[in-house]
Structure 1
Amino acid sequence: MVDDHPANLLALEAILEPLGQRLVKASSGPEALRWLLREDFALILLDVQMPGVDGFETARLIRQRQRTRYTPIIFLTATNRDEAHLVHGYAMGAADYVVKPFHPDVLRWKVEAFVALYRQQQRLQQQEAALWERERHILERQSELRFRRLVDSMPQLVWALLVDGTISYANRGWLDYAGLTPEQGRRWEEYQRCVHPEDLPRVRKAWDASLHTGRPLEQEYRLRRARDGEYRWFLARTLPERDEEGRIVGWISTATDIDDARRAVETLQAASEAKDMFLTMAAHELRTPLQAARSYAHLAKVKAGEQVEPGLERALTGVHRSVNRMARLVENLMDVGRLQRGELHLEPGEVDLTALLREVVEHFQPLTEGQRIELDVPRGLVLHADRDRLDQVFTNLVANALRYSPGEAHLRLTAREEAGQVHVEVTDRGLGIPPGQLEHVFERFSRAHGISYGGLGLGLAISRGIVEQHGGRIWAESPGRAGQGSTFHVVLPGAPRQSDAASG
């Protein structure tokens, strides 16, 4: 009730008190607006003629707020009964217009009608809210049912856990696999009975750590299958569920059967180990007869003397070359075995890398017609490394570059210092490395161009092992097109000394 005359407010209070409603009195438009900021009202009785902010302006301000836009307003006035004045009042948002003096019962009936309408609206809103809440619960139950059906159809084993680790749900996959009832599937002791005894301590320890830290968990362990009692390997992942504030409210855990894949990997590993064992044993057995053949070939050439016939000399030279090639292959097989077992030992010392690279280039002299090796290395590059093993690395790289650069091969061997390291590059203009092979060329028995160019595919694997054992890196770059060749990079740690640069 808004009126600037206290007597009028008392009169309104007396008329409306029999309705049993809470009545709030305001002596001005601004005071009424303050009440409306704090509370909702069923009806506003608003006097038109008030000093300052009159009834029309107060109504306009009330209608501007979303919260009070539809609150009914009855204007009370003792003046301006003409039609234009009434129209203006309704335009300002009046629900009704009462002209003083008015009959008390009439006003009371009008107010009672608006109060009844307000209560009915409240009941409708409450019913709507109740219906919406019920619908929400139905939708949630349907969603949960669909979720459980989906989870039950998954091949993975799935558990939902409370924040303390208590199992609240286990899917049909787990119940069928372990032969448990839904009630048993929620018991930790039943779950633990299915874990392989050798894996159980490790599983418990990892799970306790995740509960303590809140971190995701991933581990492999064996679970017993109820149908035949077989233990199969599973990959289990457990993730925390968090609320909007980041607090853990539960856990979701899944287990995926990886037994067949794991057994396949173990079979391949066993086959690979058997192959490595065979190659190592074969290399050991071949070393002695090859050494003997090399000695006999050398002895025959010595005994033949300088008067040996050209045909016999070519034969002896060919035998000696073939024996040396076989000996190198055997040594490569031996080195691969040592790398696999971690038994390739280094004998580090001071190495003049400049001199070493010059010797590598000289080793391949004389080259065939049209082939040449350009050497660009500064003087005084010194490393602390195993000289023989580095010689093996760079010899392998140059030999490969020549092998895959048919015709007029042009190789470039460069070295430079880089922040306390030495960077060596071997660049050719040969066949290049096909796309998709760059990441495989350093694997054992890998040959980017098949068997057409010979070799066992061990040189780069051995080179990588030697470089990495020195604490360095080796990699290859290639556009993959013939004529654009490849570049092999070797970066080795050290404290090189740099003097005047020279080209060779």
Structure 2
Amino acid sequence: MSSILLVDNPLAELGALEATLQPLGYRLVKASSGQEALEHLLREEFAGLLLGVELPGLSGFETVRLLQQRVPLSLPPFVFLSSRSGDAGSLREGYALGALDYLSKPVDAEVLRTKVAAFMRLSLAARRAKEQLLFQANILASVHDSIIVTDLPGNIVHWNEGAEALFGYSAEEILGQTPQVLYPDQDPAALAQDMARILEGEDFVGEWQARRKDGTHIWVDIKTRLMRDASGRGVGFIGVSRDVTARRNTEQALRESELKYRLAYLRAEKERRTAEILSRVGLAFASELDRDKLVQRITDEATELTGAAFGAFFHNLINDKGESYLLYTLSGVPREAFSRFPMPRNTRIFAPTFEGTATVRMEDVTQSPDYGQNPPYRGMPEGHLPVRSYLAVPVKSRSGAVLGGLFFGHPEPGRFQKEHEQLVEALAAQASVALDNSALYLQAQRAVSMRDEFLQVAAHELRTPITSLKLKVQSLLRAASTLGPTLSADKLHGKLEEVERIMGKLNVLINELLDISRITAGSMRLTWEEVDLVSVVHEVALRFEAQATQAHVTIHVQEGGPLVGLWDRLRLEQVVTNLLSNALKYGAGKPVVIGTESDGTHARLTVRDEGIGIAPESLSRIFGRFERAVSERHYGGLGLGLYITRQIVEALGGVVRVESTPGKGSTFTIELPLAPPQAEAAS
């Protein structure tokens, strides 16, 4: 495992540095001073060195100077860390000493990991190249030179052991032949020209490709000169050759290594820049909770990073009524450029994005077999911005739901590359988290608003009966203090009945609050017993008889035989009470009809009034907590009755529905299984 030496002080910063780099998976060795670092480097080899400038004793700069004197060959790539931000002199000194980078504390953890990972890759690549060069140098050192002598006509007359080792031919096999047998791929005309220059006294130095006896090809370095006798007359040629195949391979390897190094460096730089961009954009996304500003920021950032001529973010929204609709933001072009065109449909080109199944990148969308297949435009509408290069990335929430899609276009083909695709996918992932957070923030705002509204309504609803109760009690106290004939038994009884009525209203409000608490906590318990629904309806209707008479309302209970099922009697009474109470409240003084029936497996209860009715847009939310279809200022109430009703009915295994026409009344229908859900499952 490659090792990194961490040198810093105080120990807390050294520990923080170690914790930051541990995820990279390298062996981390710590030193708290320059002297300790020197001792480590004299004992073992490290692939990288992170060195604080401000150290006790020897500073980071002094430590590096000593290391360069004592271990110049084993000094690893190093990065300075300084707590003095903006010190240009120290910055220049650090780079002058050979530092790969000079970072000011505090260093962003992600940036530090990215930089260390990058220079460790470069360090390891350089080490491997160095080791490869050393290995090939050892091979070259073990090869003996080949010496070949020919006469003037070119016949081989001397062949040493080095030549035999190099070419594979024995002396008996090669003597008397020409060097052409060794270099069959060389052009004979070029050979003749070389020989002519040698005859004129020019030494030949070059590299030829030779073929050994076994058919393998090697590269040899040749130095050939004319041999002269004592009189200076040419008598033959001597050539000294050595195998340079390894060297040429090394050079090729070095070229490839240099290319890989450059590519690795470029990739590292690109990764660093991408990490910085994503970090910056991620922080910007995370800090923006306003949904409209957020989606515009997402569109602008992604358009700029891809180099697109224009970009759009089509995103799905759900309004307060639970209805889904599509909005979009634009970048790079004014909104008027798209406002007169319809929203994109779920065609074969757009489908992978809107369905969240895949990223789509096309060099030229107009060349796609799916392009131009859909009416009425069969391609781009007239006046549409020209799109050739096309990139689309779905944006999905953490739950997998498709939040929308990022779309980018450019009038020139081939503008979007794989790196743009990956970058936008990373941005889309960050955008999805930010949008989820924005949605949670909006939900929290709505919840706070509903809570505040509920508290205001609850305070009002509770204050009214308490005030009435207080006035009645004060009246009783005044009357009792006289103890005269003005306080008759009938009058006292009437006042006490009024007190009892007010107390009953308070009891209903408090019970509703307690029920909400139990439902929210999941602690609403049911007591299953045989209950006659018809009997419950008659009892509840009887309780409301006085209220109905006072309001001049007729409650008509449709007659029918007993309708017995396994339910919770108290909760069933509460359901009937809530529905009948609402019918009287909103019934506009007109008759209320209650009916019951059964199909053998389910009981059905209907409560119908002929009152003000419910607007269509309110039907989907009246069973929600704290929801009302009308203003509490005119009708009062906590907005909990129908919510509690639905919760009880569903706990009993049933369903509740409503049909209503404004101005003509409403009909609430409850369907309950005659046996509880668990009993049906057991049977």
The bucket for the TM-score relative to the shorter chain is 0.3 to 0.5
More contact order relative to length (CA 8 Å, sep ≥ 6): 1
TM-score by length of 2: 0.33
TM-score by length of 1: 0.44
